[in-house]
Amino acid sequence: MSEVFAQLVNVVGTGKVSSAISHNLLGKVRFGYVLSREFEKAKSLAERIGATPVTYSQDFLLNGIVLFGLSDSVLKDAETLVNGKVGEITAIHFSGFHPSQILPRSWNPASMHPNCAVADENVSFKDVLFGLEGCDSGLEVAKEIVDIIGGRYFIVPTDKKVLYHLAAVISSNFTVGLASLSEKIYEEIGLDEKTARELISHLLQTVGDNISKFPIDVALTGPVKRGDWKVVEMERAAFIEQFPQFSKPFSSSHDCGLYDIFIDILKDIINKP
């Protein structure tokens, strides 16, 4: 029998990712405890997945699989939080930044990081790629959980998690920062917020589709790719006017901070041998 089906699955922290993973596991595993700082939150999730709600001050013993859906800043305190309440467990957390080793070795730890933005518990993990790492036994459990919820996985070197997470931040967070600059310009030229967001999301979706089909240099479109340097120059002046706070010189070859740096990054793509 598989590890996940044979054991109870417990949930520590009722945040977005642990709630979403629990919902995706619903009907496929047996749940034990749901643990939260607030009993009402534990009860709310526990009622939906058929688990037993508890708070940290109650008496209970965690056995089996424990999903630690704690914020990154709190993971280091996990051992203290459940001190004296842990039996034989396989502990799994969801951070892309922290290695599994942030949890005690005796907990057979692994991490499974979903490469998608989880805004609520209704997210489906079908075909989502998870970055996994951990000790052998923890990793086996993490792989099974990903299989059960319909995801896919790859192994991340444990000592490369900071770099691995940086890559995700650049693609998924920096793009939102850049989108906010586009939104300001759309507002400036009189478009309403809904239209602006629709434009941005469509542009990002089509770029995403292209990147999924083609190498980055083929997926790139726009003035740099076409060599329309007059357009690049005129939009540089417009960028400086719109965003003086991001246009401070960065180095002798980057007079206009952010804009010049991005143009250089795009030139690197098209000049790739």
Chain residues in the site for ligand NAP (CB under 6 A)? 13-17, 36-38, 41, 69-72, 74, 81, 94-96, 113-114, 117-118
| Minimum separation from the CB atom of position 85 to ligand NAP (A) | 14
| Minimum separation from the CB atom of position 66 to ligand NAP (A) | 14
| Minimum separation from the CB atom of position 59 to ligand NAP (A) | 18
- CB-count exposure of residue 189 (10 Å: 0-12, 13-18, 19+): exposed
| Minimum separation from the CB atom of position 5 to ligand NAP (A) | 24
Kindly tell me which of 120 and 241 has the beta carbon lying closer to ligand NAP: 120
Kindly tell me which of 23 and 41 has the beta carbon lying closer to ligand NAP: 41
CA nearest neighbour of 67 among 109, 129, 6, 99: 109
Residue 152 vs residues 25, 60, 101, 132, 147: alpha-carbon distances, Å = 15, 33, 22, 10, 7
Kindly tell me which of 68 and 186 has the beta carbon lying closer to ligand NAP: 68
Cβ density class 68-89: b for 16+ within 10 Å, e for less: bbbeeeebeebeebbeebbeeb
| Minimum separation from the CB atom of position 158 to ligand NAP (A) | 16
Chain mean position to CA 18: 13
Kindly tell me which of 13 and 138 has the beta carbon lying closer to ligand NAP: 13
Kindly tell me which of 21 and 263 has the beta carbon lying closer to ligand NAP: 21
**CA-CA distance, 249 to 126, in Å (whole number)?**
45
Kindly tell me which of 12 and 200 has the beta carbon lying closer to ligand NAP: 12
Q: Which residue has the tokens 């076409």?
A: 226
Q: Is 82 helix (H, G, I), strand (E, B) or coil?
A: coil
**Element (H or E) spanning 141, and its range?**
helix 136-148
Q: Nearest to ligand NAP by Cβ — which residue? A: 15
**CA-CA distance, 45 to 49, in Å (whole number)?**
6
| Minimum separation from the CB atom of position 128 to ligand NAP (A) | 10
